[in-house]
Structure 1
Amino acid sequence: MSSDFVQNITDAIGAHGAWKLRLRTAIATGSSDARPSEVRCDDRCALGKWLHSPTMDVQVRSGMPYKVVRRLHAEFHSTAADVLTHALEGRKADANALLEGDFTARSEKLVRALAKWKGEALAASRH
């Protein structure tokens, strides 16, 4: 695995971690610079563009880590969009419950899967 591969995963972990703050801000203010329909798309952020890239290695795409990360990433975006929808519609309690519940659980699963994938890539590059 290349250093770009590992860097993409590192960057993704940081970028997706920042979403909780963005969603908290949307809940508190009732506004956001993002629209739920855009957030729901899992192929527009840097990680999504990379995961969906036609240049992604076929062997990587066929591997379980890729499949797991891609599924968890889609679930993350779907749940973030749901939180944002509640926030923008003024349903703060619903938004907070979803943020602290499903969103946090999905975010943590995604980060764990990314970290595991990164560890496997680093181990493979040493051999």
Structure 2
Amino acid sequence: MMMIKYVLFALVALFNCLVYAQQPIVSITAPLQNASFTAGGKLVVSWINPQVDSISQIQLSHGSPQALQPITVIANNVDAKSGSYSWDIPSNLTTGNDYALVLGTSPNLAYTGQFTIKGAEGGSASSAPAQSA
């Protein structure tokens, strides 16, 4: 009987860990899926309902939503209560329609929908995402 109690307790604890690990750290309100931005311009990421005091990092990524590849960290230790972060998109960032922002670090994450970054006005841009050094 005692063994059953321990097994049930362990199962409840595991279930709680899985449920809480899947809760996003914020509810992202922008950028929305399929939004479009221009290299050299600004992108404002905004959110509501912060579940943390500080967003450990904001990372630019690209690729399939099921296998996003990191490009660069654009901010560290952002005050979650501020509700937004403004990023100056580098003018040399390449054109692509599969960019996304990842807020936080695993397992405490939130993701934007995928958005497009077009080449800088009057400039040329290649079609492969820039890699950070």
- TM normalised by structure 1 equals 0.27
Select the structure with the greater relative contact order (CA < 8 A; seq sep ≥ 6).
1
Larger radius of gyration: 2
- TM normalised by structure 2 equals 0.26
